Amino acid sequence: MDKEFEKTEPVETHVSDGSSDKHIGETVSTYTIDPVAERALVWKIDLRILPVLAVMYLFNSLDKSNLGNAKTAGLEKSLGMAGTNKYNLILSIFFVPYVLTAPFLGILGKKYGPNRVLPLMMLTFGTCTLCVAAVKNFSGLMAIRWFLGMSESAFFPLVIYYQTTFYRRGELARRLAIFYAAQSIASAFSGLLSFGVFQIKGGILEHWRYLFLIEGTGTVLFACFAFWYLPRSSSEAKFFNAEERKLAYERMLLDSSSKVNEKLNIRESLVILKHPTSWCILAIQICLGVPLQAVQLFLPQIIGRLGYNTVKTNLYTVAPNVSGAIMLLVLAFASDYTRWRFPFIAAGFLFTFIGMIIYVGIDVEHQLHVAYFASFMMTCMLPAPCKQWGY
């Protein structure tokens, strides 16, 4: 970080954004923010940071949910799991280390910077995905899924935290919407990639192994690029000139969801547990997690019940996931425009709930069109993360 941003005297000052003045408690020097220059800066951040984070999250979602696509191509039979509950155990074991290690990796991300920890996590879960291509039995896959859960555990919250070091509060909503859409796009891309891979004729490997080989290789390569490319914060970005770095630093002092270049303090971080809002968000996350993971992990099997072959099943997962991404953007932008949060959070849950009720209440084998429509409804729970923009 530039020395000019490090050594500021703690004096009472005035910071102006060009329209209204605001006191910032005992921080930096007087600085006038030009709105035109700020808009240009934000646009530059959008072009340089958002696409990279979106692709990283896309690979994260791919490596987490590709097991469902592989199952449709004979993974269970190859590893001797057919006719047992072992597949469900493989899915479930992922979440044990995912929960246990997330706080510790989150602390490392805060201490050493998400720009370093995120690519290293990505390199690890990409390597785990590559290892699945060589796995020979249930025990080997079980071990890999354990380490996959560890390496992915804090990825999601760290990306969110990383964005708060670049964007002010009023700028986060639309950017988070685009970021969350990457998960639906990843699921759609996974189905499309599976559709192509499973049409490979011949080859020395089973079809589903090629899927992990391709996705794992892409993840590892992009992790190396992200480690080299991502800056620690906006005020240290090499793609900014000196004036842009100064502007980036000062505008975050004016209004940000995180303190600029704040040092890690474990005791202060635990204060959030005293806020009732934190427990409400936790309850919503638990309610969200069940349908989210159920649809993400089992959508290929849900559509597979309609009687399509392996290739068509994976192809038909694309449209529901794309519609989920579109619904996410519509509800998120509407939430940001109206400044209302609850109606749009509730709408996402309601659509998903209706879709699941429809699917359970019909004869899937004889009402194919209705069942497929229900799969579109089930993907609409993704807009629920709108809740984070209200706090």
Residue 298 falls inside a structural domain: yes
**Rounded CA gap, 317 and 312, in Å?**
9
Q: In this structure, are residues 98 and 152 in contact, taking their beta carbons and an 8 Å threshold?
A: yes
CATH of the domain at 173: 1.20.1250.20
Contact yes or no for 351/383 (Cβ under 8 A): no
pLDDT of residue 324: 79
CA 251/CA 79 separation, integer angstroms: 55
pLDDT for residue 386: 45
The rounded radius of gyration (Å) of the Cα atoms in the chain is 23
pLDDT of residue 10: 37
Residue 305 maps to a domain: yes
The alpha-helical segments, DSSP class H, found in the chain are: 3-6, 35-48, 50-72, 75-78, 86-93, 95-112, 114-132, 138-152, 155-164, 172-197, 207-229, 242-254, 266-269, 276-304, 310-315, 318-338, 342-361, 368-378
**Is residue 11 one of the residues assigned to a domain?**
no
Residue 45 located in a structural domain: no
- SS3 of 16, please? strand
Q: Which residue matches tokens 């991502």?
A: 230
Q: How many other CB atoms are found less than 10 A from the CB of residue 305?
A: 13
The predicted structure's pLDDT at residue 261: 55
Q: Measure CA 7 to chain center.
A: 35
pLDDT at 233: 80
Q: Mean pLDDT for each 10-residue chunk of the chain (391 residues)?
A: 42 39 45 82 88 87 79 83 83 88 89 92 94 90 93 88 83 74 71 75 79 91 95 83 84 64 66 78 73 72 75 77 80 76 79 85 82 82 46 39
pLDDT at 255: 66
The token duo for 295 is 């649809």
**Domain annotation covers residue 70:** yes
Q: How far apart are alpha carbons 164 and 30 in whole angstroms?
A: 23
Token pair 């996590």 is found at 121
**What's the pLDDT at 8?**
40
Q: What distance in Å separates the CA atoms of residue 44 and residue 248, rounded to the nearest whole number? A: 11
* Distances from the Cα of 20 to the Cα of 23, 36, 167, angstroms: 10, 15, 19
What is the count of structural domains for the chain? Answer: 1
Residue 379, pLDDT score: 79
Element (H, E) at 54: helix 50-72
Q: 60: closest CA among 287, 259, 223?
A: 223
Write out the residue range of the structural domain in which residue 173 sits: 50-229+265-390
Is 15 a domain residue? no
Q: Please indicate, yes or no, if residue 349 is contained in any of the structural domains.
A: yes
